[in-house]
Amino acid sequence: MPQNTTDTIEVRATAKYVRIAPRKARAVISLIRNLPVAKALEVLQFSTRAASEDVAKVLRSAIANAENNNHLRGDDLIVKLAYVDEGPTLKRVRPRAKGSASRINKRMSHITVVVAPRKEA
């Protein structure tokens, strides 16, 4: 929930039910925490991880929310919070030897990015 006090404005964006394992998405999210948004987008652009596209999409959405809804400048924002929660798991079955089967878990993620204005101190 955005905190609309005079000194702290936080703007968030969330992507739910993203079909990537949370463990893989958390590795990408940890790269952008506490970075200015321009630097974070640059890091994500050159990352070879598959989750970087989904995280970049959420980050761009958070920047757009800040610019359009809260009238903040996109250049002055930093990634204050970024985290990945686990979503529901699709359970699938794969045939194995001697007529048995094993379960394949296809995991989903909920990706949240919170941006805030940079402190000029």
- Tell me the pLDDT band of 119, cut-offs 50, 70 and 90: confident
Identify the burial level of 69 via C-beta atoms within 10 angstroms of its C-beta, where 0-12 means exposed, 13-18 middle and 19 or more buried: exposed
> Edge to edge, what strands does the sheet with 101-117 contain?
11-18, 101-117, 77-95
- The reply to whether 7 falls in a domain is no
- The reply to whether 3 falls in a domain is no
- The reply to whether 5 falls in a domain is no
* pLDDT, tens digit (0-9, with 9 covering 90-100), for 48-69: 999 999 999 999 999 999 999 9
- Tell me the pLDDT band of 9, cut-offs 50, 70 and 90: confident
- The reply to whether 6 falls in a domain is no
- The reply to whether 62 falls in a domain is yes
Mean pLDDT over 88-111 rounds to 96
Flag whether pLDDT at 6 surpasses 60. Answer: no
pLDDT value of residue 97: 96
As for how many domains the chain has, the answer is 1
Query: What CATH number has the domain bearing residue 92?
Result: 3.90.470.10
**Picking from 1-15, 26-40, 58-72, which range would have the lowest pLDDT averaged per residue?**
1-15
**In what helix (H) or strand (E) does residue 16 lie, and over which residues does it extend?**
strand 11-18
- Tell me the pLDDT band of 121, cut-offs 50, 70 and 90: very low
Give me the domain span that covers residue 44. Answer: 12-117
Question: pTM for the whole thing?
Answer: 0.87
Q: Distance between CA 29 and CA 121 in Å, rounded?
A: 26
